[in-house]
Chains A and B, each alone.
Chain A
């Protein structure tokens, strides 16, 4: 008990100390969370009519953000594959950071689902034994299962590694490696299941395409790690966390291949729609060229494409990939590109025109923006706090009392188990 209290106290010390940039960052997140909380209080009181969702477009901003963030969560696996499957040392030490990102992303996913529900007080109805989940027919129950399973998996790996490191011990390969390898199909499954959620609806021809699941995976892998790349540079600079340039450039290279696949699959989808030119083309047209005077999404669609293409070129060409200015620019661009593509570029055109041919142009309300900002605030806060605690543990500066002193090499607890 005492040791747990010491640990908690230690964590509290870690997160309440930092430089000005750190506190400024926390302040920004705090403001975002406060705005989100106020927004949600308003929405909870008045109902989802506080959003611009209506019967015609009944899923929109929240579900779009959820979809994007599931991709981010799945992208952590892009670090895992080279680290453990290909035994590439420079990446192994940063796998845990990817898992922390996955945990934060899943947290945000679950929050977006919660704020989108008409009756969040009834969430127990979807839990086995306490409720009546429509498993296996309902994809949403599968999503709940795999998302929570993936969260648990990542938490297990992270807690094990950190717990061992906190006590100055090496983590047990027999525990970690199988779990980490399991996280590869798990990561693929969370995004595949999410894709199937949309894919399985015959009522929505824009989604009812087999290509949706591969597109989801490609866009996840090409965008999710972008956060990691930025984070690695921040940690190197401010926390002295040693991450080789090789690791960063390798991840960027893998992302470039994923970007290519993403663009190729988009091209394949566009060919099918425009060449066959059935009535189903209308959804694609609404997104890329508008229908009549309904053109709300067109600028976002082309912005997204431009960002994705430029990011692809920046990541593909070794010179721009290896220059941190262009690399970071590429990271921002791909995040913007995929955020639009998976968010409003997927959900809204799926529902516009609606099933009876009606066009209702949806744009988010201030309430939706504030709640989304709040949830992103929570997610980034979770990530920040986890990293603030994990890095000192991994570096050896945050240890349990009586634990062996840290070795000269700050990467000791991890390096010993690698290679």
Chain B
């Protein structure tokens, strides 16, 4: 099983928040890095062309940051996004709660393929709207005659009304695997599995090599092929550093079980959007949670189980 790392458990409002000016005056760690950058042909040249600042380039991996450095990073990301969108953006780095392991249930006997979940997710998580259009949830229309069969699946169905006779619907999103192939192949440890089960991506560390996208069996990871098109009026300003904070061009993103909501105790946006109650979410370690009741009483299966990814995402039939 993959080793799990987590952020330090920070609650918003923790002491140690530095004002912006102090954070900016902190000297970068180590001169040798700067010297190297100056002489590294590719890196320096490209950096000059982009708008990235030196601070961002000299950043360490998230797990190597001290709490003060993490706070400085959060304030920096807040400031950049607030300037970019002209609205006050908050960036949280809330860590996982002890004794919590998220589980997600999707009732295939209920889903009608209305795609409300897809667009609720887009609004909540600040995806690029066009060029590229990024959806973290893909709803596959399948035939009842063939069952769960990807050869006959269609994500592009259009209909006056759903469900269409003879069809059923299977939404697919990140399965938050316990044995995630994406985490295994990432060359920079930009993606890892947190202790509450969510597989997260640090958008500021990802190099955009897309190994993870090749490795994911569920097509759950998506790439910012261009600068994300997110109108300021549609921004959700309450963000999490590893979740729905606006991503830059050239990095990978995916469903994070609405980490900015679920770590505060709320349901993910897709769970709340579903008009037929096909989505269940909760703490697998809590015997009274809906998801535990699902696991204990329903016929549950795992998508592409033979790949031994052991997802936290379960499909079931309530009836």
Contact = CB atoms under 8 A, between A and B. Distances in A.
Physical contact A–B (CB less than 8 Å):
yes
Interface in A103-151: 113-114, 116-126, 130-134, 137-141, 144
B122 interface: no
Interface of A: 44, 46-49, 53-56, 58-59, 113-114, 116-126, 130-134, 137-141, 144, 197-198, 200-204, 279, 282, 350-351, 353-358
B251 A132 contact: no
Interface string B183-222: 0111111100000000000000111111101111111011
A125 B43 contact: no
B57 A118 contact: no
B226 A123 contact: no
A120 B47 CA distance: 9
B267 interface: no
A185 to B, nearest CB: 23
A47 B18 CA distance: 34
Given A58-B214, A118-B250, A356-B155, A132 B132 contact: no
Given A49-B132, A125-B205, A201-B214, A118 B223 contact: yes
A134 B250 CA distance: 20
B188 A49 contact: no
B225 A358 contact: no
B172 interface: yes
A358 to B, nearest CB: 6
Contact of A49 (B131, B181, B190, B208): B131
Q: Which of B37, B40, B215 has the most CB of A within 10 A?
A: B215
Given A203-B216, A355-B218, A130 B185 contact: no
Contacts of A49: 131-132, 225-226
Contacts of B221: 55
B307 interface: yes
B188 A131 contact: yes
B26 interface: no
Contacts of B216: 203, 355
Contact of A201 (B63, B64, B215): B215
Given A49-B132, A123-B42, A279-B151, A137 B214 contact: no
Nearest to B227: A47
Interface in B149-184: 150-153, 155, 172, 181, 184
B275 to A, nearest CB: 24
B33 A140 contact: no
Given A125-B190, A132-B189, A202-B217, 8 more contacts: A47-B249, A53-B225, A55-B222, A113-B209, A122-B207, A123-B43, A138-B187, A356-B150
B46 A44 contact: yes
Contacts of A282: 151
Q: Which of A114, A117, A203, A279 has the most CB of B within 10 A?
A: A203
28 contacts: A44-B49, A46-B226, A47-B225, A48-B250, A54-B225, A55-B222, A55-B223, A56-B219, A58-B210, A118-B224, A120-B43, A121-B50, A122-B57, A122-B188, A122-B206, A122-B207, A130-B36, A132-B188, A134-B185, A134-B188, A138-B187, A138-B211, A354-B219, A356-B218, A357-B150, A357-B153, A358-B153, A358-B155
A362 to B, nearest CB: 13
B241 to A, nearest CB: 17
B140 interface: yes
Nearest to A354: B219
Interface in B25-51: 33, 36-37, 40, 42-43, 46-47, 49-50
A259 B306 CA distance: 36
A200 B216 CA distance: 12
Given A132-B188, A282-B151, A119 B181 contact: no
Contacts of A120: 42-43, 46, 207
B138 interface: yes
A59 B214 CA distance: 8
Given A46-B226, A131-B61, A357-B153, A118 B49 contact: no
A413 B43 CA distance: 40
A197 B215 CA distance: 10
B209 A116 contact: yes
Contacts of B21: none
A140 B212 CA distance: 11
Nearest to A135: B187
A126 B49 contact: no
Nearest to A45: B49
B1 interface: no
Contacts of B222: 55
B189 A123 contact: no
B102 to A, nearest CB: 23
Contacts of A48: 208, 223, 225-226, 250
A285 to B, nearest CB: 11
A200 B219 contact: no
A357 B252 CA distance: 21
Contact of A140 (B132, B187, B223): B187
Contacts of A124: 36-37, 40, 43, 57
B186 A138 contact: yes
B145 interface: no
Contacts of B184: 137-138
Given A131-B188, A132-B188, A202-B181, A114 B42 contact: yes
B205 A122 contact: yes
A130 B61 contact: no
A126 B40 CA distance: 14
A357 B151 contact: yes
Nearest to A351: B214
A202 B188 contact: no
Contacts of B188: 122, 125-126, 131-134
Contacts of A47: 224-227, 249-250
Contacts of B187: 126, 133-134, 138, 140-141, 144
A130 B28 CA distance: 13
A356 B132 contact: no
A55 B219 contact: yes
A253 to B, nearest CB: 38
A121 B58 CA distance: 11
A49 B128 CA distance: 13
A198 B187 CA distance: 14
A118 B189 CA distance: 16
